[in-house]
Amino acid sequence: MKRDPGTSPVTEKSLFHWAFRDNLKLQLILLSLILLIVGARVVPLEMQKRIINDAIALKNLDALFLYCLIYIIALTTASALKLAINYLQALIGERAMTVMRKELYEHILGLPLHFFRTTQPGMVVSSLMTELSAAGTFAGMAFAVPLTNILTLLAFTVYLLWLNPKLAATTLVIYPLVMLIIPQLQKRANQANKKRVDISRSTSSQIAESISGIHEIQVHGAYRQESDKFGQLAERLKKVRIRWSLFRFGIKTANNYFTGLGPFIVFLYGGYLVMHGQLALGAMVAFLSAQEKLFDPWKELIDFYQVYQDATVRYRRTMRSFTTTPDFTLELPAGDAPRLSGELAVHALTYDTTDGLRLLNGVSFSLQAGEHLAVVGFSGGGKSTLIQCIGKMFPYSGGSIQFDGRELSELGKMEIIRDIGYVSQSPFIFTGTVRENLLYARQALPAAPQAGGTEDLDRQILVLQQVGLFVDVMRFGLETPLEPEDAETTRRILAIRARLRQEFGKKLADCIEFYDWQSYHRTSTIAENIVFGSGGSGSGRDSGRPGPDNQLFRQFLGTTGLLLPLVELGLSLARQAVDVLAGLGGIELFFKNSPVPADQLERCEALTSRLPHGGGSDLPRQDQDFLLALALQFTPANHTMTRLDDELAADILTARLLFAKQAAGLLPGGFTPYGETALIPGQSILNNIFFGRIRPGMPSAQERINRAVMHTLVEEDYLEKIAAIGMESPVGTMGDRLSGGQRQKLAIARVLLKQPSIILMDEATSALDNKSQTRIQRLMTNRWRGKRTVIAVVHRLDSIDTFDKIAVMKAGKLVEYGSYQDLIGQRGMLHELIYGKNLPDA
């Protein structure tokens, strides 16, 4: 990592370094507050003595008021100062911990890749977020706590000696005993704490590994194995924590015991002195109070010592875990450093692992700027290692890699990052939006251009189109729920809707049923046809969605004469479902065209058996509500087992008009009727544009609609806006909302956006379908050749004939190198890989 010359690595800095770094001014303020609080703590002791000896004993009321006033002022001042000191301690501690975490995290990010192969993520998380918290706490205490309590101890000791030297010497004799016993207990506690930290890390790493591999655990049923691993660690952690707690409590118990010895000595010896007139009663009271208060700073020093020991153990353990030196420094290239052209020369390249295993052995080849190289070969042949050495992800052991005649080891890491783009087989997508991931590689560059503006958006859209991700991004944008924020958004969407209806309404009529107030909408439920709008929210039984439970809506159905016909329709649906579907075992496939769900069929059977011939009006309220719910969810276009009566459809249309007038009272919380001049809040942008529903049974409907919508968006100059919305779509945790192919396309796009002169691809299209792979291959052939040097590990050999050179790797060696035609003509290793060993001579 880049740091100032002469500074030590973060892992070598002492614990006290963080307490004073950038906090000197605060520490000086603390010092002044500490001096004040020490004086404020001694004043009440002297006031106690004077109140008894000079005020109460002499019955001096004025003196009593004066001394009590001074006492309360000193007490209040000490409390306020203590609060201020605690605040400054917390401020210093949090600042120190934040800087500590940031610098250590920056250091960790630059560690060699092989470090992370043997380090569990859980250990890194635990170290940064848990182990360093103790160090941060100590950093806040490092100056204030010992100084405050040592000065307080000295002040109280001097005051006690001033009151009575003999009694003071007698009571202070117990402290050497404390200083002898406490450190021994603390030493044992430290040993147990070290074991606790190590086992806690192992446990955290085990948890992280199990969660990361949860798919394998569940696929193989390895629940018991993983539980046993965790159980053993948990038992070890339990035992060491019990031992650690025992010594910690032993320290506190010993300290409390010695605390109680002080008053005992004062009562015994001080009482003797008072009886013989060698000590005033007020002085003894002040002595008792001072003796009691003397143990407060002593106790805080003991606690501080424990915090120091705990923080030291955890801090040293943490820093020791990350003492690995980064392979490369992130030195920024000079402002006038030339861009790499892409000319590459590799000579006698070797790479050995830390275990001594040689993965590359004497690899040599060269490429002109703009040439494309396909690296193929057997598994374990060193293909990925070669790519990673060229990309300066690993330091090569021997040989040479030169770009434009400059040795790779002499080039700064940031210079390589600027001019080389790398796409792996399993690219990592970060939690965030599509845009954030798209800009990720470019924003890491020195003096990266700011995202924003029409030109930059056009560039982003271009790379998305080049890799074939633009259609997905547009779909993300069109599927975004629409919440109109301003009149301009509403105007534009309505204009797009009108244009689509005008230009494509007749062409799309067979696949879209557009919303129309004068027609029954067969792709919607009966409830949706009555309401014919969106919105309505609230709490309580008489609000919310239209249904049997909504008493206001049920009353509306009764006043419009729809209640009993709908109950009868529900009864008809139940009877038909029983007649057709009974005995089919609840298989969902058979219930696809029925409004009766599989889990409700049994209830339908029970209900129809009680009413073989009668009407729904003869049923109790509970059964009527059940049948009414079935009818309200009936969708003629989907539930083709039953036909909707034309007369009932006409009555529903009449009720629709009446409902629109009464909607505010029937559905509290806001209601928007469907209309050509109104948007549908909460529904997607796409739904708002075509303003209807797709008819079922039309396989190509979505594709036809998308083409019409895209054409309309272009005509209305709104395509970029939708694309921008789509790029703000979240990709999920580590990209889990994207498919494998979409992740690879996004990874290629983010590399293209930073416009490197060299592109390294490690099976970067393995998750793409044939069409998408062909698209990327065409992009490489038509747009990159001559402009960007490409080195690609290729898994599909049917596409390598478009590359300028082919490198065949086996067991870490380059066994063949040349053009596709030359290598095939030699009938060597490449010929064998493509055609097999037993192909007869042509």
Q: Are 712 and 503 in contact (CB under 8 A)?
A: yes
- For residue 497, the one-letter residue type is R
Specify the pLDDT at position 337. Answer: 67
Can you tell me the distance from the alpha carbon of 536 to that of 776, in angstroms, rounded to the nearest whole number? 48
- One domain, residues 510 and 592: yes
What is the side-by-side order of every strand in the sheet holding 406-407?
358-367, 344-352, 398-403, 406-407
Q: What is the pLDDT of residues 796-808, one digit of tens each?
A: 888 888 899 999 9
Residue 464 burial (CB < 10 Å; 0-12/13-18/19+)?
Answer: buried
The verdict on 649 and 507 lying in the same domain is: yes
Indicate which CATH number applies to the domain containing 364. 3.40.50.300
Give the structural domain span for 415: 341-429+738-842
How far apart (Å, rounded) are the C-alpha atoms in residues 167 and 270? 7
Do residues 552 and 695 both lie within one domain?
yes
- CATH code at 190? 1.20.1560.10
Q: Is residue 63 part of a domain?
A: yes
Task: Return the pLDDT at 485.
Answer: 66
Question: What is the value of pTM for the model shown?
Answer: 0.72
Distance CA 594, CA 568 (A): 16
Domain assignment of residue 711, yes or no: yes
Q: What is the DSSP letter of 780?
A: I
Quote the pLDDT of residue 704. 87
Could you tell me if 742 and 719 lie in one domain? no
Distances (CA, A) of 675 to 13, 254, 337, 679: 69, 81, 61, 8
Model pLDDT, residue 136:
84
Residues 6+ apart with CB under 8 A from 759: 420, 421, 422, 423, 751, 784, 788, 789, 790, 791, 792
Residues 499 and 397 in one domain: no
Q: Are residues 795 and 653 in the same domain?
A: no
Rg of the chain over CA atoms, in angstroms? 40
Estimate the share of the chain in helix, then strand, then coil, as percent rounded to the nearest 5. 60, 10, 30
Distance (Å, whole) CA 633 – CA 595: 7
CB atoms within 10 A of CB 469: 25
Residues 368 and 406 in one domain: yes
C-alpha to C-alpha distance for 277 and 437, rounded to whole angstroms: 85
User: Cα–chain-centroid distance for residue 234?
Assistant: 27
CB 556 within 8 A of CB 549: no
| 517 belongs to a structural domain | yes
| The predicted structure's pLDDT at residue 581 | 80
Residue 328 lies in a domain: no
Considering the domain architecture, whether residues 719 and 821 belong to the same structural domain is answered as: no
User: Is 336 contained in some domain?
Assistant: no
Residue 651: the pLDDT is: 93
Tell whether 130 is covered by a domain: yes
Q: Are 705 and 749 members of one domain?
A: no
Q: Give the pLDDT of residue 650.
A: 93
Residues 689 and 825 in one domain: no
pLDDT of res. 632: 92
Q: Which of 76, 107, 16, 611 is nearest to 324 (CA)?
A: 107
- Among 683, 741, 246, which residue's Cα sits nearest to residue 469? 741
The answer as to whether 30 is a domain residue is yes
Structure tokens, 196: 């606790």
Count Cβ neighbours within 10 Å for each residue of 505-536 and write b for 16 or more, e otherwise.
eeebeebbbbbeeeebbbbbbbbbbbbbbbbb
Strand, coil or helix: 680: coil
| Ranges of the chain whose pLDDT falls below 70 | 1-7, 172-173, 175, 215-216, 219-220, 259-262, 265-270, 279, 281-283, 286-288, 290-295, 328-337, 444-455, 484-485, 535-545, 585-590, 612, 614, 668-670, 837-842
Q: What is the pLDDT of residue 807?
A: 92
Q: Let me know if residue 456 belongs to a domain.
A: no
Q: Are 781 and 775 in contact (CB under 8 A)?
A: no
Total of domains in the chain: 3
Domain boundary among 263, 289, 320: 320
Residues 277 and 356 in one domain: no
Other C-beta atoms closer than 10 Å to the C-beta of 145 total 22
pLDDT at position 538, please?
39
Q: Are residues 250 and 306 in the same domain?
A: yes
The residue from 723, 746, 778 where one domain ends is 723
